[in-house]
Amino acid sequence: MTIDIFWRIPTHGEPSSHRSKTPHRGDWFPGNDRLRERGLVGSDEGEFNYIDYLAEIAHAAEISGFQGGLIPSFPMTDEPWIISAALARETETFRFMIPFQPGFLNPVTAARMTATLQRATGGRALYNVITGGGGPAQLWWGDSTGHDDRYGRTTEFLDILQGLWKGEPFSYQGKFYQVDNARLAEALSKEDYPEIYFSGSSDAALASASKHANYYLSWLEPFDQLRQKFDRVKEKTHLLGRKIKCAVRVDIVARPTEEEAWDEVRLGFEALSKEAIQNFGRGDGGDSAGAARQWGNRPETINSYKDLIFEPNVWSGFNLLRGGQTNGIVGSYEQVAERLDQLVQLGADAFILASTPHLEEAYRVGEEVLPLVRGSTSAPALRAVG
Ligand SMILES: Cc1cc2nc3c(=O)[nH]c(=O)nc-3n(C[C@H](O)[C@H](O)[C@H](O)COP(=O)(O)O)c2cc1C
């Protein structure tokens, strides 16, 4: 069995360690006058900007054996389609996992964008289909569609994408989309159909994933809970006569010893304000079933980083350190690899890993942890472009 391992490209700026909250890298943080004076950041022509930094991370991950990277897409990030195109010519085998909410793109336009990116990169584009978490973040994009309708729209979008890829004129009459004799240019329809990772934990998400996804992707949850979720999505997909694999997106802190790893977490935790700790997990989670599952382990009172450990080497406080999903793995190189192996035993076929700072940690995790994960594959030999 082979396990595909991806890294993550931090499109939201990043600090130099889990202990800092200031995104110093590149020109992301405009208030960084100290670094600007030294000529280390800037956005004028010829200066090193944040996208140059992302290219360094992609290179590091490629060299260290990762298949590619997930390029997150939130209101306050760079745009992943554009970042992929920019990084494509700087890398050779690195694959670009592009998250996007189908509702925000016309499916015929998306098919053309994808096929063009496949041509430009030698088939290195793949999707993380996301469907949005409701609440203020959804309204930020101007989308007030209800939760289950969003998934209905996602399913129709993927129906059309698949139909178009056959290369024949394609018509579709759905609730959200209608197309009449749509067609991709012949050269484009010959490109590889993108591999589809699919995120979402609700029943509506599982129904849509079972119809269209190659990989069902989840944040880390308590291991038994995750096993049940993977079993459920595999069963649902099987009923449709299809197969699906499963993947976990998880942050890690891996160090030579367990003590050093927890020290990194402890120092990050101790740098937080009391208010940040009190408000932890109490924000507006929108209508996301996945987000509700993420916060399910929050203890009533949090006095120490240790209160957030809910299984051996599993810590639920990552959101405090760098925002985003909150459950991750902390331990020695061997322990992190063992936990990943356990996730493989319970049904994972792929991982998207991350750690801060993504540049140095890509080397560390690639060199020290990946070789210990049973069945992990090195970066694929794809058609190299650029
Ligand atoms: C692994 C993973 C990655 C995600 N990445 C993004 C992202 O980049 N941008 C985004 O807006 N939402 C992202 N989401 C959230 C999904 O869009 C969606 O809000 C969430 O899964 C809610 O669906 P649910 O109610 O079915 O759980 C991600 C979710 C998961 C599980």
What CATH number corresponds to the domain at position 155? Answer: 3.20.20.30
Is residue 108 situated within a structural domain? Answer: yes
Expressed in angstroms and rounded, the spacing between residue 234 Cα and the centre of ligand 1 is 19
- The position carrying tokens 């694929």 is 380
Domain that holds residue 95: 4-251+347-368
Is residue 306 situated within a structural domain? Answer: no
- The position carrying tokens 């700072």 is 357
Expressed in angstroms and rounded, the spacing between residue 138 Cα and the centre of ligand 1 is 11
Q: Measured from the CA of 130, which atom of ligand 1 is nearest? A: 17
**pLDDT computed for residue 272 by the predictor:** 94
Cis omega (within 30 of 0) on the bond before 256? no
Q: Give the whole-angstrom CA distance, residue 365 versus residue 362.
A: 5
**pLDDT computed for residue 40 by the predictor:** 57
Q: Is the pLDDT of residue 380 over 70?
A: no
**pLDDT computed for residue 284 by the predictor:** 63
**pLDDT computed for residue 30 by the predictor:** 66
Q: Give the whole-angstrom CA distance, residue 350 versus residue 362.
A: 17
Is residue 159 situated within a structural domain? Answer: yes
Q: How confident is the model at residue 381 (pLDDT cuts 50, 70, 90)?
A: very low
Is residue 10 situated within a structural domain? Answer: yes
Q: Is the pLDDT of residue 196 over 70?
A: yes
Q: 303-362, pLDDT tens digit by residue?
A: 999 999 999 999 999 999 988 889 999 999 999 999 999 999 999 999 999 999 999 999
For the chain, give the mean pLDDT: 91
pLDDT greater at residue 281 or residue 356: 356
Least confident of 17-31, 64-78, 170-184: 17-31
Q: Which of 130, 203, 219 maximizes ligand 1 atoms within 8 Å of its Cβ, making it the mutation to test the pocket?
A: 130
What's the half-sphere exposure (Cβ side, CA atoms, 13 Å) at 34?
A: 3
Q: Give the whole-angstrom CA distance, residue 234 versus residue 210.
A: 8
Segment 131-137 shows an average pLDDT of: 90
The binding-site residues of ligand 1, defined as CB within 6 angstroms of any ligand atom, are: 72-74, 99, 128, 130-133, 199-202, 205, 217-219, 249, 288-290
Q: 56-104, pLDDT tens digit by residue?
A: 999 999 999 999 999 999 988 999 999 999 999 899 999 999 999 999 9
SS (H, E, C) 234-273: HHHHHHCCCCCEEEEEEEEEEECCHHHHHHHHHHHHHCCC
**pLDDT computed for residue 386 by the predictor:** 35
Q: Is the pLDDT of residue 32 over 90?
A: no
Expressed in angstroms and rounded, the spacing between residue 153 Cα and the centre of ligand 1 is 15
What's the half-sphere exposure (Cβ side, CA atoms, 13 Å) at 188?
A: 17
Q: Measured from the CA of 217, which atom of ligand 1 is nearest? A: 1
pTM for the whole structure: 0.93
Is residue 111 situated within a structural domain? Answer: yes
Residue type, 144: S
What's the half-sphere exposure (Cβ side, CA atoms, 13 Å) at 58?
A: 27
Task: Supply the residue whose CA is at minimum distance from atom 17 of ligand 1.
Answer: 132
Expressed in angstroms and rounded, the spacing between residue 63 Cα and the centre of ligand 1 is 28
Expressed in angstroms and rounded, the spacing between residue 218 Cα and the centre of ligand 1 is 9
Task: Quote the DSSP letter at residue 194.
Answer: P
Is residue 74 situated within a structural domain? Answer: yes
Q: Measured from the CA of 137, which atom of ligand 1 is nearest? A: 11
Task: Supply the residue whose CA is at minimum distance from atom 22 of ligand 1.
Answer: 288
Percent of the chain residues topping a pLDDT of 70: 92
Strands 314-315 and 328-332 come out as antiparallel
Expressed in angstroms and rounded, the spacing between residue 7 Cα and the centre of ligand 1 is 17
Q: Which of 71, 96, 199 maximizes ligand 1 atoms within 8 Å of its Cβ, making it the mutation to test the pocket?
A: 199
Q: Measured from the CA of 70, which atom of ligand 1 is nearest? A: 8
Q: Is the pLDDT of residue 385 over 50?
A: no
**pLDDT computed for residue 108 by the predictor:** 97
Q: How confident is the model at residue 383 (pLDDT cuts 50, 70, 90)?
A: very low
Q: Give the whole-angstrom CA distance, residue 166 versus residue 156.
A: 16
Q: 205-257, pLDDT tens digit by residue?
A: 999 999 999 999 999 999 999 999 999 999 999 999 999 999 999 999 999 99
- The position carrying tokens 């995750």 is 226
Is residue 224 situated within a structural domain? Answer: yes
Are the C-beta atoms of 177 and 107 separated by less than 8 Å?
A: yes
Q: How confident is the model at residue 373 (pLDDT cuts 50, 70, 90)?
A: very high
**pLDDT computed for residue 384 by the predictor:** 38
Question: How many domains, in total, are found in the chain?
Answer: 1
Segment 147-157 shows an average pLDDT of: 97
Is residue 174 situated within a structural domain? Answer: yes
